[in-house]
Amino acid sequence: MNIFRDKIINGGFSVTAELFPPKGNDASALLKKADFLKPFVDAINVTDNQRASMRLGSMAVSRLIKEMGVEPIMQMTCRDRNRIALQSDLLSASALGIENVLILSGDHPLNGEYKDAKPVYDLDTVQLLTAAGMLIKGTDLAGKNLSGTPSFCLGAVVNPTANPVELQIMMLEKKINAGAVFFQTQPIFDVSQYEDFLGKVRPVTGAQKVRILPGVALLKSAKFVKFLLGLPGVNIPQATVDRIERAPDQLAEGIKICAETISRLRGIADGVHIMAIGMEEHIPEILRQAGIKSK
Amino acid sequence: MIITVQKPLPEILDSLKDYDNVFIVGCAACATKCQTGGEEAVKKISEELKKAGKKVSGSAVLDTPCDIRVAKRDLKNVSAGVFLILGCGAGVQSVEKVTSAPLVPALDPVFTGTVERIGIYHEYCALCGSCMLAGTGGICPITRCAKSLINGPCGGAVNGKCEADPDSDCAWALILEKTKGKGILKDYMPPRSFIKPKNIGRHKKTTL
Ligand code: SF4
């Protein structure tokens, strides 16, 4: 029983988190976190060589957490594999029981630790979603029949803060047409900005059964806020920055802010994707303060 | 045109270390425009080679060294210990067709470029074999998007700049600006083909 997929299809407020595979083959710390988060989240995203750095694979880690009864969302980027490898890995994931797949283009190698690597992008996200959709229907991109057909719950990303917004909406529409049924977003710090975005995408999503789970990040310290503000495209309201800076206990304040954001999103969003960035042990407290009961 | 840069002199000298009687071949086309393979560049490298103790037996700037007929016409009577070619890889390989002497390239070809002025070049064409500029407002997503995305942008652009290079405009922001209201962006673009046509008109791609 895939509770995540069930909520995507039938509705219900979804809660997801994400974990980053380690550099090395020892996944024990990640697995401990997954086990700890199990009662609190519907699924956990497993990133695919995040930030274009070389890590333990998303498919292997997805399978490992699945064995523990945690529902994985296997992230799959277009950066490192051509169409043969991508389709083969989709089949492999399915053979290992992985159903939820989040397809993204992937940070460019220039932003990672292998700047000289070949940026593959043989398929883009819309084409990879299309390929996955064909596999579900029993053929591959080349039109050849499959023995056995995989079953996927396909997702993609949309960036509500990226400019120009018309392009994000166009991509959202193309991804929906290619078979994406859920979306996760970059972190939202300003709920009213997200509401604006929802208003703009409604003409595209309205008639379709797609769920969008906005990302929420735990602002763990003033230092971290400063770091985030230094990143391109990150926009944190001044009032939030002030609250963290002035708080005697910055982490507690960050948890409170995160919980408040989630409570506000509860009325308007299909769920939340919590990015605790190494502080996953605080997710239960965030959810408690947001008034979300564990499973 | 083909944009080239000169290899570092130590690398060129190292490639030449087993040979003497260097004949330098320049290029009057692209490499002259790039100032990497014209008369001046040939003169300069000739002096540098002599200073490094190499014997230079002669030089010629060919109109288009990438044309085998031209290479044959201009080089058939040249005897050399080694040819040092100040041209792109197409130039080196047409010289290869007309001599059995060893060849050393002096330049690194980097891309097909649009020239703004000398020294300012833009990589605007990938020679991909299937031009899609009609549908993108004349802006090439293969070369100008860092991920060569043809269905639309990634989520990484910030204020119209590319996630991979904040000094470059996001190609898709430019495409939107150029094509506004025309709706051509909404079509699904299938995966690209990486097979290039083998026979182009009467000409064969690889044999001559
Ligand atoms: S930011 Fe724009 S140009 Fe850069 S990789 Fe993404 S879509 Fe391509």
Q: What is the pLDDT of residue A65?
A: 98
Q: Are residues B135 and B102 in the same domain?
A: no
Does B47 reside within a domain?
yes
pLDDT digit string, tens, across residues B111-170: 999 999 988 999 999 999 899 999 999 999 999 999 999 999 998 888 889 999 999 999
Does B118 reside within a domain?
no
Q: What is the pLDDT of residue B207?
A: 46
Mean pLDDT, range A250-256, rounded to an integer: 97
Q: What is the pLDDT of residue B203?
A: 59
Q: Are residues B131 and B93 in the same domain?
A: no
Residue bearing tokens 């800076």: A245
Structural domain ending residue among the three candidates B50, B84, B111: B111
Structural domain ending residue among the three candidates B87, B111, B135: B111
Contact B78, B58 (CB under 8 A): yes
Q: Are residues B60 and B18 in the same domain?
A: yes
Any ligand 1 atom below 6 A from CB of B71: no
Q: Are residues B105 and B148 in the same domain?
A: no
Question: Would you call A232 and B149 a contact, using CB atoms and an 8 Å cutoff?
Answer: no
Does B198 reside within a domain?
no
Residue bearing tokens 């219900």: A12
CA-based nearest residue to B6, from B46, B43, B45, B33: B45
Distance CA B56, CA B47 (A): 9
Residue bearing tokens 């000094």: B167
Which structure tokens are listed for A10?
């039938």
Is residue A207 classed as helix, strand or coil in its secondary structure? coil
Q: Give the best residue of A124, A173, A188 to mutate against chain B (max B CB count within 10 A).
A: A124
pLDDT at B206 over 60: no
Distances (CA, A) of A72 to A69, A152, B147, B162: 9, 12, 27, 31
Distances (CA, A) of A155 to A57, A100, A135, A211: 19, 7, 15, 9
Q: What is the pLDDT of residue B62?
A: 98
d(CA B49, nearest CA chain A) in Å:
32
What's the one-letter identity of residue A34?
Answer: A
Structural domain ending residue among the three candidates B111, B145, B172: B111
Q: Are residues B100 and B16 in the same domain?
A: yes
Q: Are residues B152 and B59 in the same domain?
A: no
Reported confidence tier of residue A14, pLDDT bands at 50, 70, 90: very high
Mean pLDDT, range B32-44, rounded to an integer: 97
Which is more confident, B22 or B184? B22
Mean pLDDT of chain A: 95
Q: What is the pLDDT of residue B185?
A: 80
pLDDT digit string, tens, across residues A208-231: 789 999 999 999 999 999 999 887
Using a cut of 0.90, tell me whether the model's pTM lies above it: yes
A3-290 fold: TIM Barrel (3.20.20)
Q: Are residues B92 and B28 in the same domain?
A: yes
Does B200 reside within a domain?
no
Question: Would you call B151 and A162 a contact, using CB atoms and an 8 Å cutoff?
Answer: no
What is the total count of domains within chain B?
2
**Interface of chain A toward chain B, CB-CB under 8 angstroms:** 78-79, 83, 104-105, 107-108, 110-111, 119, 121-127, 130, 141, 157-159, 162-164, 166-168, 170-171, 173-174, 177-178, 186, 232-233
Distances (CA, A) of B123 to A32, A195, A243, B32, B176: 48, 40, 47, 18, 20
Bridge-based pairing state of the strands B103-105 and A211-217: unpaired
Does B207 reside within a domain?
no
For residue A164, cis peptide bond before it (omega within 30 degrees of 0): yes
pLDDT digit string, tens, across residues A72-96: 999 999 999 999 999 999 999 999 9
pLDDT digit string, tens, across residues A104-162: 999 999 999 999 999 999 999 999 999 999 999 999 999 999 999 999 999 999 999 88
CA-based nearest residue to A101, from A138, A72, A133, A64: A72
DSSP state of A280: G
Contacts of A99 (CB under 8 A, 6+ apart): A2, A5, A151, A152, A153
Largest CA distance in chain A: 63
Mean pLDDT, range B45-56, rounded to an integer: 98
pLDDT at A206 over 80: no
CATH number, residue B61: 3.40.50.2300
Q: Are residues B106 and B139 in the same domain?
A: no
Is ipTM over 0.90? yes
Distance CA A157, CA A103 (A): 7
Ligand 1 closest atom vs CA B155: 6
Residue range(s) defining the domain that contains residue B26 = 2-111
Mean pLDDT, range B57-77, rounded to an integer: 97
pLDDT at B208 over 50: no
Contact B157, A163 (CB under 8 A): yes
pLDDT at B174 over 60: yes
Question: Would you call B166 and A232 a contact, using CB atoms and an 8 Å cutoff?
Answer: yes
Does B156 reside within a domain?
yes
Distance CA A6, CA B138 (A): 45
Distance CA B145, CA A71 (A): 35
Contacts of B145 (CB under 8 A, 6+ apart): B153, B162, B170, B171, B172
pLDDT at A233 over 80: no
Nearest to B163 among A111, A130, A163 (CB): A111
Does B86 reside within a domain?
yes
What's the one-letter identity of residue A295?
Answer: K
Does B208 reside within a domain?
no
| DSSP code string of A127-156 | HHHHHHHHHHHTB-TT-PBPSS----EEEE
d(CA A1, nearest CA chain B) in Å:
32
Which structure tokens are listed for A207?
């008639």
Question: Would you call A110 and B146 a contact, using CB atoms and an 8 Å cutoff?
Answer: yes
Is residue A211 classed as helix, strand or coil in its secondary structure? strand
pLDDT digit string, tens, across residues A41-78: 999 999 999 999 999 999 999 999 999 999 999 999 99
